[in-house]
Amino acid sequence: MDTLNGIAPDGLLGFVRGTSLDAKTRARLAEAVPDEFFTYPGGLTARGHQELTYQRLRRAGLAAPPAPELLDDPPALCALLERAAIADPALFHVMLLHYTLALGPVLRFGAGQDGPRRAREDMESMASFGTLLMTEVGRSNSHLSPRTVARHDPATGGFVLSTPDAQAAKFPTSTAHPRVPKTAAVYATLVHGGREHGVFVFVVALRGPDGAVPPGVRITDAPETTGLQVDYAAVRLDDLHVPYEAWLRDGASIQGAGAEGVFHDPAGSPAARLTRSMGIAPAVWRAVISASAAITRASAGMLLAHSAGRATLGRLAPRRPLTDYRNQQEAVLGALASGYALTAVAVHAQARRTSADAGDGGGPDTAWAPWSAVDRDLALLKAAATTQAQETVSACRVHSGAPGFAAVERLNAYRGLTHAYMNAGGDNELILYDTARAMADLDRYAPPDPGAGPPDGGDLDSPAVWLFLARDTERRMRDRLAARVRAAAGSGQDAFTAWNGNLVLAARTAAACADRLVLEICAAALDAGPAELRPVLRLHALNLLDRRAADLLNEGVAPPGVLDEVWAARRRACDELAPRAGQLAAAFELPAAITAPTAFLDVR
């Protein structure tokens, strides 16, 4: 297998770069996260480390195009966040919070309002960093119904924000650093005239310019952690008074008719309001999918750098190159292929515009979380991308041996990021369950038509065959899931019992749908992309079929022995790709900081 010194053919480079950004913008975004951000000086305390992360966020924000432009241009914002993710997952996390989850709601829901102007200016100028107070610590699925309330106060016309008890504390939040100014987007249930009117966002200055906390805000630091190193804390609000204009109203109002005024919300119902308030999520999902692709590409490049040219001493064949062994070869090439496939998914996600972008969720009814109601497929692709990245990054870590664990923090940090975002940004399992329920109920979901088949004589090298197998599996699983839930309900079981007995099938059915979407995206990329891409995406498709083999067999879509065929096809794909591994990695244009040998271990 060749090394990282390969020169990527233009076609692959063009595919990875995409066509959305011109060279000048790409260069500007890369310079916003310069090479020095890829490491930290030694000897920092945890707070010192976090302080440097925020200083870098400020530098990046000031060097990048203005925030409103970035939020209007998904490929540009994603490119900035991708670069942050490969440099430093903690920087990615606080940058994502700042742009998409704090400034995003201010610009979107506070449009036309005067009140959030100060918060907006502070965040746009990076004088204050955005943070999110959404999740509550003590109950699962808190996003569906936050217990933090914003009570309208007729005396002042403003609101009083309160945390009813410790269980409703907002956690995790990135608010512990005592000297870092913070502006929070607080998700709270609005109460007016003694009635709850749904979940809205309120903007609150949580820590002033010097980091001081105002009266009414209680911040409890979390212990130091290493998985994704930011300044976690729990936040409680003790009757915090905020002005009417802190309410990011999104067209709602309390006006006229007596001291209390009349509540009006164009969303029409608390359920619709929740979906609208979560309408900032597509920007998060695009970024998380793009970051998943970026750290997968980086991990694949690191694994190739570790593996190429490394000799083995195994007794079967002493001094045989490590990558001559199929296990390592398939790990390296599979990781590269995964990087390309996720890049295709990221391009698709960045280009996708949904009704959520226009302010209305177009998704199905949900039971576990609000996410699928906002955009079922984008939420599902976020779950699929983080799961894939987690799998590939973990495999790269293991196949990089001790140097991949102990010589540099990078692969551990990438793994921490993928793990975190399997919960964060919309919990993957809950997204799968809501997707499965929509599939079973045919709620804005049409089962894919596999057509007659398998086509092309069942040749696993053919994209038509992957699509046939994926679609047929998904359709059969959906039918079985729907029948089982229907039968359970028909026998008198309540909805909880009917679904609870079928959660394994539900999660796998939704995951099958996700795989099918990914394969369709890969097939489209094959049609439109350069010829060099074909064996790469074929390898990824074969790996997906390997992963889904239990379901192919369980549903009778493929006969026993199918795995032997998949493995043989994979060996063929790897034989074709092995001489070009360096070219495949070169097209990722990874900074030297990622793939260079660790200086103190330079034993080559």
Ligand X SMILES: Cc1cc2nc3c(=O)[nH]c(=O)nc-3n(C[C@H](O)[C@H](O)[C@H](O)COP(=O)(O)OP(=O)(O)OC[C@H]3O[C@@H](n4cnc5c(N)ncnc54)[C@H](O)[C@@H]3O)c2cc1C
State the DSSP string of 434-495.
Answer: HHHHHHHTTSS-------SSSSGGG-TT-HHHHHHHHHHHHHHHHHHHHHHHHHHHHTT--H
| CB 240 to ligand X: min, Å | 17
How buried is 15 (Cβ within 10 angstroms: 0-12 exposed, 13-18 middle, 19+ buried)? buried
Task: Return the residues of window 27-86 that contact ligand X according to CB under 6 A.
Answer: none
State the DSSP string of 395-412.
Answer: HHHHHTHHIIIII-SHHH
Task: Return the residues of window 325-364 that contact ligand X according to CB under 6 A.
Answer: none
| Other CB atoms within 10 A of residue 551 CB | 22
Q: What is the dihedral of CA 25, 26, 31, 32, to 10 degrees?
A: 70
| CB 183 to ligand X: min, Å | 13
DSSP single-letter state for residue 311:
B
Task: Return the residues of window 451-470 that contact ligand X according to CB under 6 A.
Answer: none
543 touches ligand X (CB under 6 A): no
Stretch that binds ligand X, among 19-27, 38-46, 165-173, 358-366 (CB under 6 A): 165-173
User: Residue from 224, 360, 391, 429 that binds ligand X (CB under 6 A)?
Assistant: 429
Report which of 425, 144, 455, 119 is spatially closest to residue 292, judged by C-alpha positions: 425
16 touches ligand X (CB under 6 A): no
Stretch that binds ligand X, among 130-138, 338-346, 523-531, 577-585 (CB under 6 A): 130-138
Instruction: Give the C-alpha distances (Å, rounded to integers) separating 542 from 164, 348, 558.
Output: 52, 21, 14
Task: Return the residues of window 287-316 that contact ligand X according to CB under 6 A.
Answer: none
Task: Return the residues of window 384-423 that contact ligand X according to CB under 6 A.
Answer: 420, 423
Element (H, E) at 182: strand 182-192
Stretch that binds ligand X, among 110-118, 170-178, 300-308, 574-582 (CB under 6 A): 170-178
| CB 98 to ligand X: min, Å | 11
| CB 165 to ligand X: min, Å | 16
Name the residue with tokens 């996700």: 514
User: Residue from 5, 140, 220, 226 that binds ligand X (CB under 6 A)?
Assistant: 140
User: Residue from 50, 173, 290, 323 that binds ligand X (CB under 6 A)?
Assistant: 173
| CB 177 to ligand X: min, Å | 13
Query: Whole-angstrom Cα distance, residue 588 to residue 299?
Result: 11
Query: Whole-angstrom Cα distance, residue 579 to residue 570?
Result: 15
Stretch that binds ligand X, among 133-141, 157-165, 278-286, 470-478 (CB under 6 A): 133-141
Q: Which is nearer to ligand X, 332 or 369 (CB)?
A: 369
User: Residue from 122, 231, 427, 472 that binds ligand X (CB under 6 A)?
Assistant: 427
97 touches ligand X (CB under 6 A): yes
At 599, the amino acid letter reads A
| CB 260 to ligand X: min, Å | 30
User: In angstroms, what is the C-alpha Rg of the chain?
Assistant: 25
Q: Which is nearer to ligand X, 228 or 246 (CB)?
A: 228
Q: How far apart are the first and last CA of the chain?
A: 17
Q: Which is nearer to ligand X, 240 or 521 (CB)?
A: 240
| CB 187 to ligand X: min, Å | 7
Sequence-distant (6+) residues with CB within 8 A of 604 are 309, 597
172 touches ligand X (CB under 6 A): yes
Stretch that binds ligand X, among 11-19, 59-67, 128-136, 334-342 (CB under 6 A): 128-136
Strand partners, 201: 187, 248
Q: Which is nearer to ligand X, 90 or 303 (CB)?
A: 90
Total binding residues toward ligand X, as defined by CB under 6 A = 19
User: Residue from 141, 354, 412, 462 that binds ligand X (CB under 6 A)?
Assistant: 141
| Other CB atoms within 10 A of residue 503 CB | 13
User: Residue from 50, 53, 113, 135 that binds ligand X (CB under 6 A)?
Assistant: 135
199 touches ligand X (CB under 6 A): no
Contact 386, 288 (CB under 8 A): yes
Long-range contacts of 358-364 (CB under 8 A, 24+ apart): 359/250, 359/276, 359/279, 360/275, 360/276, 360/279, 361/272, 361/275, 361/276, 361/278, 361/279, 362/444, 363/275, 363/438, 363/444, 364/434, 364/437, 364/438, 364/441, 364/443, 364/444, 364/445
174 touches ligand X (CB under 6 A): yes
Q: Which is nearer to ligand X, 140 or 497 (CB)?
A: 140
Q: Which is nearer to ligand X, 140 or 156 (CB)?
A: 140
424 touches ligand X (CB under 6 A): yes
Kindly list the residues in this chain that would bind ligand X in the complex (CB under 6 A). 97, 132-135, 140-142, 170, 172-174, 228, 368, 420, 423-424, 427, 429
